[in-house]
């Protein structure tokens, strides 16, 4: 198994460009990868990373870190660019569907299917997500 450290990520120009990671998942049931430092994601902040060509949005909700696939199930909107509402919901910037960041559940029209979530672990100040 190969882990690409964050400092090996490609450079990015602004907040909507993800840091990119590639992970080989050979012989591993549930691989995890380090994607960011907790210090880089203060309470209320979001961050986009890309792992194996999948865009993943990280959110810090009052000190708890969550990771969801950055794809609105209505029409592929970039959830990381949405607005946080009601404390734990992200509102898609395209047509306004809301998702629970904690569970990925679709909470409002026009989305009906949940978005994928990823288990998050904090180890020595770093954010790891399980793939």
Binding site for ligand FES (CB under 6 A): 72, 74-77, 92, 94-97, 110-111
Helix (H, G, I), strand (E, B) or coil at 34: strand
What minimum distance in Å lies between the beta carbon of 38 and ligand FES?
Answer: 28
Nearest by Cα to 63 from 41, 36, 43, 48: 43
**Closer residue to ligand FES, CB minimum distance, 95 or 116:** 95
Of the pair 40, 54, the CB lying nearest ligand FES is at: 54
Residue closer to ligand FES, measured from CB, 90 or 127: 90
């Amino acid at each position: 198994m190969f882990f690409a450290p964050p400092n090996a990520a490609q450079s990015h120009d602004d907040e909507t460009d993800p840091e990119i990671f590639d992970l080989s998942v050979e012989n591993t049931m549930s691989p995890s990868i380090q994607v960011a430092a907790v210090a880089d994601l203060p309470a209320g902040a979001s961050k986009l990373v890309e792992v194996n060509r999948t865009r993943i949005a990280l959110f810090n909700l009052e000190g708890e870190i969550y990771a969801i696939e950055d794809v609105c199930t209505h029409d592929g909107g970039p959830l990381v660019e949405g607005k946080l509402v009601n404390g734990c919901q992200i509102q898609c910037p395209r047509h306004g569907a809301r998702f629970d960041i904690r569970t990925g559940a679709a909470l409002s029209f026009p989305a009906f299917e949940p978005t994928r979530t990823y288990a998050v672990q904090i180890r020595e100040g770093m954010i790891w997500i399980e793939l």
